[in-house]
Amino acid sequence: MSGYVVVGSQWGDEGKGKVVDLLGTNVNMVVRFQGGNNAGHTVVVNNKKIILHLLPSGILNADATCIIGPGVVVNLSVLFKEIDTLESQGFTCDHLKISDRAHLLMPYHVKIDELQELRAGAGKIGTTKNGIGPCYADKYTRIGIRVCDLRDWDVFQEKLKVVLAQKNEEIVKLFNAEPFDYDEMVATFKEYRERLLPMICDATDKIN
């Protein structure tokens, strides 16, 4: 099966989203392989300007399966807001699938990103404060929580309890900020879980 690969020149803002949107009208599958909601892709359909941050640009082609791949870090709050926005404008997202190996971008990732920038002062790096860096850091240090963990609710709760204890200690002792409440986060993700489960897939199997 032939395909297109769209890769930027590492500068950012090269127009990748527009290219994918154009190519995505004539394919049966569109896969986003990395990144998070720090990106911004603007597409125009029927004179409607639509800005996407997390959903693949090809999502507007209902005939193409759209996959958020294992290299993407997924903020579920942002994801569902984008889906709701598209559906309110008459588009469908029924063809969206999310890799079970993608990492979840958690509220504490966003908080730590913000606190790190604040602490750096004049030496800040100019992050978007969306938690992308801290989430990838957890992925590579093997303490991140993945989409597949939501399939087993007991596993998710146990992993969250362990990781959140570490993150809260960092937030309180290093940044002198308010910690997160475990029970509140569990309740939030329980709601997310019900909506997410039908979208989860084995992306490797789906693509190949």
Q: What is the pLDDT of residues 48-59, one digit of tens each?
A: 788 899 999 889
Structural domains of the chain sorted by starting position, each given as residue range(s) with its CATH number in brackets: 16-102+199-207 (3.40.440.10), 103-195 (1.10.300.10)
Q: What is the pLDDT of residues 103-160, one digit of tens each?
A: 999 999 999 999 999 988 887 887 889 999 999 999 999 999 999 999 999 999 999 9
Query: Are residues 61 and 73 in contact, defined by beta-carbon separation less than 8 angstroms?
Result: no
Catalytic residue among 13, 94, 154, 205: 13
Angstrom distance (rounded) from CA 89 to CA 143: 38
Task: Reply yes or no on whether the pLDDT at 173 is more than 70.
Answer: yes
Catalytic residue among 21, 41, 53, 138: 41
Say if pTM beats, i.e. exceeds, 0.85.
yes
41 is an active site residue: yes
How does residue 193 score in pLDDT terms, banded at 50, 70 and 90?
A: very high
As a whole number, mean pLDDT of residues 170-198 equals: 98
